[in-house]
Structure 1
Amino acid sequence: MYNKWKIYGLVALLTATTSCKKYLDVEPVGKTILTNVSDYDLFLNSQDLTSSGARELNLLADDVDVTTIPATPDRPEDLVYLWANQYSTDTKVPPAFWGKHYGNIYRYNAVLVGIDKAGNGTEKDKRRIRAEALLGRAFEYLYLVNLYAKPYNAATAAKDPAVPFMTSVDISAETPRRSTVAEIYDRIISDINAAIPDLPADNATNRFRGAVTAANSVLARVYLYTGRYEEATKYARLSLGDNPPAILDYNTIANKSAIPNMAIRPFDLYARYSTNASMKEYPTIAFLKMFDVSDLRLKLFYENTGDYSYPKRGVVAFNPSGAVTNFGTSVEEMKLIIAEAAARGGRLPEALAQVNDIRKCRIKKEVYQPLSSADADEVMGFVMRERRLELAYKGLRWIDMRRLDAENKMTVVYRYDANNKTIATLAPHGARYTLQIPLAVLQFNPDMPRNDD
């Protein structure tokens, strides 16, 4: 058993423990924080909780190409990109990924622990806020189990170690062991299902907040990641409802500044910023060549595309500034989940229809042609290609790579320096597909089981 201070205070919340503890235990002179229901309601809008996706997730994936890696890399983002065993030896700063997600879990737990005693609010509002915190915490654990545990495998999930499941904010209490993959997923599902009855029907006025539509979309992602494709389809359809929000047709906008703010985008179901929402990413040339040259996503989101021949690495940039990408869930993701499940189940016309619904809003209308095929492998290829193109740089590709690797569908991934020399490789079924527990955690928890090196 590990002391909770070591998990929360010294690791996840090193720079934020004081403020979190202040919210929970200290009443500053002349000021009361998290006392009334309205305080908790506002707290759920905090920047920490609305930016839960780590930008570094993009750096793990095979569609990025960083040509500026120094000869002796020491920045955490460089080490993430190279799939290093550890990303920092500085145990005095919150570690990449782990620190952010456990920091937010601490905050959600603070809401769950305190909301019932809050004043000046209705019981209905308390239940709603509690439900939103359950959904938010589940979303954070979905990242953690897909970073620090092996990909879900029904045959081994009950024994594969995942992460500690924290529910308390008492820093003196003992922390549970590393839960298994099955236990984490079971808790994610049960918490979201417990939240749904008390959530509002939708979050159209603020997509960062919890709602039944948002909860169903997260469940769809959960079931996709666990290979339960019919359940994934069920919840994806529930999240879309009988009248799904329209996909924005890029043929109708002049530039990305015309894309609505994330908080009110009809096509975003559960909005989340990344930790560096405006950071440019540099695609691999192979990834860029997956796009049709008539694809309006190239025009709107990618800089320096030239004549689309891409003769040099590190020139074209994905630039989300002006239309920040959503690390949460979206209508497009739900349609792609439905498409993948349909393709896997042999329902090829259904899969193609979902993919074409997206493509017709992305390809120049004067040249658009719907995809068609009666070949199951080809249709699955269409689905997975569209998933890569539409969900690019939203923190999802790394988790997809893990899923594909478990199905023997990943080849070796290489990293190159500016002179095209190989500087790192990620082999199929390699240990690096599961992140190592950070040194900052291991230093204070020497008995915590490690992941494979």
Structure 2
Amino acid sequence: MYNKWKIYGLAVLLTTAASCQKYLDVAPKGKIILTNVSDYDLFLNSQDLTSSGARELNVMSDEVDIPAIPAVPEKPEDLAYLWALQFTTDTKTPPLFWGKHYGNIYRFNAVLQGIDAAGNGTEQDKRRIRAEALLGRAFEYLYLVNLYAKPYNAATASQDLAVPFMTSIDIADKTPPRSTVEEIYDHIFNDIKAAIPDLPANNAGNRFRGAVPAAYSVLARACLYTGRYEEAAQNARLALGDKPPAILDYNTIASKAAIPAMAVRPFDLYARYSTNASFREYPTITMLKMFDVNDLRLKLFYEKTGDYTYPQRGVANFNPSGATTNFGTGVEEMKLIIAEAAARSGKLEEALTQVNDIRKCRIKKEVYQPLTSTNKEDVLGYVFRERQLELAFRGLRWFDMRRLDAENKMPAVTRYGAGTNVITTLPPHGARYVLQIPSVVLQFNPDMPRNAE
């Protein structure tokens, strides 16, 4: 069973080389040779490696409504919206999600395998570049394990199948078997912890690059997804540091054009574009009504909101154009992780402080009132509502839905046609919360175990 699916990574890598021939050489056998440390450093700035999360993550969530869905859906985004068993049968293009993440993993593995032998650079630079590649690879696997495996369950993680863990860049090598969920998370944790000592103290000049705060932020997210809430909060605090970057107060800006570019935003810790960073999304009316009408996020990022009664589906839309949405990690997410851990452990005042720190920068200052409650479930509800509003359309809601479903807190999600006709429903604990291994991968790896259908 040869590693045919890895051809996707190689093909994309060769495409990158075509636009970066100044920095890369292509060997006669078709393999890319990165020669000097500076080559590897520039390679980490490539457009491929600065984008990770696919826009289609949004359309799988309960945030999005597509009233004009075709009667016979064929596009991957339409099939993702309907949680189809497969999103494409086209063997000529990389499969949605899988192709992008494994393509990036291939690139990071190329860096990891070659950096030690690179010339014209210091050992410190080599260690830094290696550390950045380890962090980048861990970030990609965090997506994969939360797409193609069951949500983490400590009782079953050592048996639940996840995805193959790839370290080779030789397409003739055999495909490794699917690792377990526990094994993939062990790799994620180990790679990040191994990276931290050699990462720079900050990435203020380029938020797309690895740094210590970025590493702790990814570690915090991984701990959250494995239910290690206190560890998640601890790592989130380390990501924020002793002097946390300030949250941008939307009361102080006139339009989203005033929001800095992602590469230099102080409040973004590990910046990543999505595969379609400026795409409009049409929120469900239910989600739109979660916003207070005085919430400045509505003013800045949502169009055609009218008088906030939303009488018709598919009109009001989320449009980040001019203020690209970060699919990486940021200050607000870290504060929400701290808030969730605090709420779950009964530290309600701390949880509310974290949530209100965000809200006071989002609600019109003349009407802002802090949230208060002494009820644990209410406070946890505030945290999840703020996650949904603040982290909207960053590809994270699907993963929160999986977590909530595992806790029996996720209702059925229904897709409707142009009227009120039900097209499909994702029930609680539905098998489609775990994506099927792409058909093209199964075609080349027929012995690979399939997920439940």
Greater than 2 Å deviation, 4+ residue runs:
11-28
1:148 alignment partner in structure 2:
148
Aligned partner of 1:197 in structure 2 is 197
State the shift of 1:3 in Å.
1.5
> Residue 110 of structure 1 aligns with which residue?
110
For 1:223-372, list aligned pairs within 5 A. 223-372=223-372
Q: What are structure 2's unaligned runs of at least 5 residues?
A: none
Residues 175 and 300 (structure 1), Cα distance of their counterparts in 2 relative to 1, 3 Å cut = same
Equivalences, count: 448
Measured in 1, the distance between the counterparts of 2:228 and 2:216 equals 14
Q: 2:121 maps to which residue?
A: 121
Asked if 1:183 is matched to 2:183, the reply is yes
C-alpha contact (below 8 Å) 1:12/1:98 kept by paired residues: no
Query: Secondary structure of 1:93's partner?
Result: coil
- Equivalent pair of 2:356/2:371 in contact (CA under 8 Å): yes
Amino acid at match of 2:380: M
* Superposition TM-score, scaled by structure 2 size: 0.97
The answer for unaligned runs of 5 or more in structure 1 is none
- CA distance in 2 between partners of 1:18 and 1:218 (Å): 28
Conserved in 2, the CA contact under 8 Å of 1:200 and 1:211? yes
Are residues 19 and 254 of structure 1, via their aligned partners in 2, closer, same or farther at CA, if it must alter by over 3 Å?
closer
The answer as to whether partners of 1:14 and 1:94 remain within 8 angstroms in 2 is no
Q: Is the 8 A contact 2:24 2:39 kept in 1?
A: no
Contact 1:207 1:262 in 2 (8 A): yes
Structure 2: distance between partners of 1:24 and 1:153: 43
In angstroms, what is the RMSD of aligned CA positions?
A: 1.6
Is the Cα contact below 8 Å between 1:51 and 1:273 reproduced in 2? Answer: yes
Q: Which residue of 1 aligns with 2:212?
A: 212
- Tell me the CA shift for residue 421 of structure 1: 1.1
**Counterpart for residue 429 of structure 2:** 429
1:420 Cα offset (Å): 2.2
Return the alpha-carbon distance in structure 2 between the equivalents of residues 15 and 326 of structure 1: 23
CA contact (8 A) 2:63 2:287 kept: yes
CA positional deviation for 1:380: 0.8
Report the 3-state secondary structure (helix = DSSP H, G, I; strand = E; otherwise coil) of the residue aligned with 1:310.
coil
Q: Which residue of 2 aligns with 1:96?
A: 96
Cα deviation code 1:72-99 (max 9, x no counterpart)? 1111110000000001111121000000
Distance in 1 of aligned mates of 2:401 and 2:56 = 15
Query: 1:3-26, CA deviations, whole angstroms, 9 ceiling, x for partnerless residues?
Result: 22x1200x5555545657999983
- SS at the partner of 1:179? strand
User: Which residue does 2:438 correspond to in 1?
Assistant: 438
Query: Is the Cα–Cα contact under 8 Å of residues 9 and 107 in structure 2 kept in the other structure?
Result: no
Task: Tell me, in whole angstroms, the C-alpha distance in 1 between the residues paired with 2:369 and 2:59.
Answer: 33
Deviations 1:16-46 (A, max 9, x none): 4565799998347xxx952110110000000
Hey, what's the Cα distance between the residues in 2 that align with 1:15 and 1:440?
Answer: 16
For the residues of structure 2 that align with 1:265 and 1:25, how far apart are their CA atoms?
A: 34
Cα deviations across residues 155-190 of structure 1 (Å, max 9, x unaligned)? 000010000000011111122100000000000000
* SS across alignment from 2:423: strand
**What CA distance in whole angstroms lies between the structure 1 residues aligned with 2:289 and 2:280?**
19
Question: Any conservation in 1 of the 2:105–2:140 contact (CA below 8 Å)?
Answer: yes
Tell me the distance in 2 between the aligned counterparts of 1:88 and 1:78.
Answer: 10
Q: Which residue is equivalent to 1:8? A: 6
* Structure 2 letter corresponding to 1:204: A
Query: Counterpart amino acid of 1:237?
Result: R
Residue number in structure 2 paired with 1:452: 452
Aligned to 1:388: 388
Distance 1:365 1:25 in 2: 56
Stretch of structure 1 that moved more, 32-41 or 240-249: 32-41
For 1:320 and 1:313, how far apart are their aligned partners in 2?
Answer: 19
For residues 126-164 of structure 1, the C-alpha deviation after alignment (integer angstroms, 9 at most, x for no partner) is 000000000000000000000000000000000100000
**1:123, 1:249 → 2: CA distance?**
42
Distance 2:362 2:316 in 1: 19
| Cα distance in 2 for residues equivalent to 1:113 and 1:215 | 21
> Is residue 62 of structure 2 the alignment partner of residue 58 of structure 1?
no
- Corresponding position of 1:166: 166
Matching residue's letter, 1:216: Y
Alignment partner, residue 75 of structure 2: 75
